[in-house]
Amino acid sequence: MTRIIFSSAILLLISSQATMAANRHVDIVNKTGMTLKEFYASSTGSNNWEEDILGRDTIANGETFDINIDDGTGACRFDFRAVFQNGGESVKRNVNVCEISTFTYTR
């Protein structure tokens, strides 16, 4: 029984370390026909959107922008908020940035 518990603890530790080391770079692809002018990514469950990751940059229709979505906590699940040139927005919840490398906005 002790051997099983010890083995489980080692597997949990290895799994935790793999999540901490996971690549959180995500290519944000804009295929909406509009310019994406603000982009936010906050840990799922957070009560605010943090800062606009794009800053002065924008993502024109047809463009891709590489974003490192690593807030230093080791979290993998984030909520995304995109704001477009016409003032419209799109919110996607619970995106696992440890499992994806591309996220595409479409019409």
Q: Provide the phi-psi class of 45: left if phi over 0, else alpha when psi is between -120 and 50, else beta.
A: left
Q: Coil, strand or helix: which one is 97?
A: coil
CATH number of residue 60's parent domain: 2.60.40.2890
Q: What pLDDT is recorded for position 45? A: 87
Contact 50, 81 (CB under 8 A): no
- Domain-embedded: residue 6: no
Place of tokens 């959180």: 24
- Domain-embedded: residue 35: yes
* Beta bridge partner(s), residue 62: none
In total, how many domains does the chain have?
1
Q: What is the pTM of this model?
A: 0.78
- Domain-embedded: residue 12: no
- Domain-embedded: residue 60: yes
Kindly state the DSSP code that residue 46 receives in the 8-state scheme: -
What tens digit of pLDDT does each residue of 34-49 get?
999 999 999 998 889 9
Contact 81, 28 (CB under 8 A): no
Q: Which domain holds residue 94?
A: 23-106
pLDDT, one tens digit for every residue, the chain (107 residues)? 545 555 555 555 444 444 445 789 999 999 999 999 999 999 998 889 989 999 999 999 999 999 999 888 899 999 999 999 999 999 999 999 999 999 999 98
**Residue 27 neighbours by CB distance under 10 Å:** 13
* Beta bridge partner(s), residue 12: none
- Domain-embedded: residue 82: yes
Rounded to a whole number of angstroms, the CA Rg of the chain reads: 17
